[in-house]
Amino acid sequence: MAKETRLSQTPPFPWYGGKRKCADYVWRRLGKVNYYVEPFAGGMAVGLACPHWNELTGETYNDADGLLVNCWRSISTFPSVVWANINRPRAEIELRSWARWLRETVDRQRLVERMQVDPTYCDPHLAGIWLWGICASACGWFVQLHRGPSVPADLPTGILSSSRIDDGYDWLLALASRLSRAIILCGDWKRVVTPSRLGKAGTVGIFLDPPYAGTEAVYNERYRVTTDVLAWCKNNGANPRYRIAVCGFDEYSDLEALGWQAVQWRPGGGFRNRATKQRRRIDETVWFSPHCVVSSE
């Protein structure tokens, strides 16, 4: 049971800007909520780490990246097919040919459109190839529009790492069980935080991890979403049913005047209250809305 729990709480691939190292602290501040929403899901590191996930009445994940969402949907529905396409050699020619196939053959827009219309649609064959490419390639170039050094990584990551490969299939099965009740959407983040969607959910934990200002190109975003996220937080932070955490550098400092608490964190370096410590540029910040659980850390 301990092994299954560990596997079900760990994303099977690395993700740029992932928040796995701060997930436990975030959940201490969100507390025991009824419903959980992650509008910029990415690697789902925070959602998967929920300590009371089996008591949630529901959870919704969303991302604009069709290949990413297809992977999560496929893992939750067809883990055996995904695994069959992951378990392949890490040959340079394989990486080159599959990257070209993804770039020239897969209609990413059509994929997104199908998943937006049908919340159950997914392509597990495509998901396995994509997941294999991310974990097998050097520098994560499979994510970056499938361009870059067409060579296998010296040390594969995620589900292909030497310490995890033997647990690979069990890992996908554990994730499938964990996500069996989750809704995984693909599209605009704002449609998953509307009053109509959250109105009957009870206490809601909302984790916002949008592309940071200046890094939008990494996520294939064409505009700064931080402006919209800040406006939404200002309009909804006072709702007593909402416990919101939003991540950034300085983009959301205006929220502090509205009672939000800013907590800095550094991967491997712990947390500190920004009001009492001098900020360093390399630190990231999580802002917690007024109705989050109070913490002295």
Kindly report the CATH number assigned to the domain that includes residue 195: 3.40.50.150
Shared-domain flag, residues 147 and 252: no
C-beta atoms surrounding 290 within 10 Å: 17
Do 114 and 153 share a structural domain?
Answer: yes
> CA quadruple 148, 150, 153, 156: dihedral positive or negative?
positive
Residues 205 and 227 grouped into a single domain? yes
End position of a domain, from candidates 136, 159, 180: 180
Selected residue with higher pLDDT from 3 and 258: 258
Q: 216 falls in which pLDDT band (50, 70, 90)?
A: very low
pTM: 0.88
Question: Which residue has tokens 């890992």?
Answer: 171
- pLDDT for the residue numbered 279: 47
User: Mean of the per-residue pLDDT values for the chain?
Assistant: 85
Task: Assess whether 158 and 199 both reside in one domain.
Answer: no
Q: Are residues 167 and 131 in the same domain?
A: yes
Residues sharing a CB contact under 8 Å with residue 125, sequence separation 6 or more, in sequence order: 81, 85
Residues 54 and 12 in one domain: yes
Neighbours of 130 (CB within 10 A): 26
Residues 191, 85 share a domain: no
Residues 22 and 164 grouped into a single domain: no
pLDDT bucket at 87, cuts 50 / 70 / 90: confident
The number of domains in the chain is: 2
The confidence band for 15, taking pLDDT boundaries of 50, 70 and 90, is confident
Q: Which of 163, 180, 197 is the last residue of a domain?
A: 180
State what percent of residues in the chain have pLDDT above 90: 56
Domain boundary among 180, 209, 239: 180
The predicted structure's pLDDT at residue 267: 64
- Is the pLDDT assigned to residue 112 strictly greater than 90? yes
Tokens representing 139 are 């520098």
Pairing of the two strands 284-288 and 261-266: antiparallel
Residue 32 is classified by DSSP as S
Tokens 């996500």 sit at which residue?
179
**Are 194 and 279 found together in one domain?**
yes
User: Tokens 């995984």 correspond to what residue?
Assistant: 184
Average pLDDT over residues 133-153: 63
> Dihedral of the CA atoms 159, 163, 165, 167 (nearest 10)?
-90
Residue 224, pLDDT above cutoff 50: yes
- Both 197 and 56 in one domain: the answer is yes
* CA distances, 95 to each of 73, 83, 174, 201, 265 (Å): 23, 17, 27, 44, 36
Question: Which residue range is the domain that position 232 belongs to?
Answer: 1-64+187-297
Phi, psi of 263 (to 5 degrees): -125, 125
> Quick check: 70 pLDDT over 90?
yes
146 band by pLDDT with thresholds 50, 70 and 90: very low
**77 and 153 in a common domain:** yes
269 and 216 Cβ atoms separated by less than 8 Å:
no
Asked if 248 and 208 sit in the same domain, the reply is yes
| Res 218 pLDDT > 50 | no
Give me the amino acid identity at 297.
E
- Dihedral (C-alpha) 134, 180, 52, 193: value to the nearest 10 degrees? 80
Place of tokens 């998953």: 192
More confidently predicted of 169 and 277: 169
Q: What is the mean pLDDT of residues 8-25?
A: 88
Work out the average pLDDT over 76-86: 95
Q: Do residues 43 and 21 make contact, with C-beta atoms less than 8 angstroms apart?
A: no
Kindly state the tokens that stand for 81.
């097919």
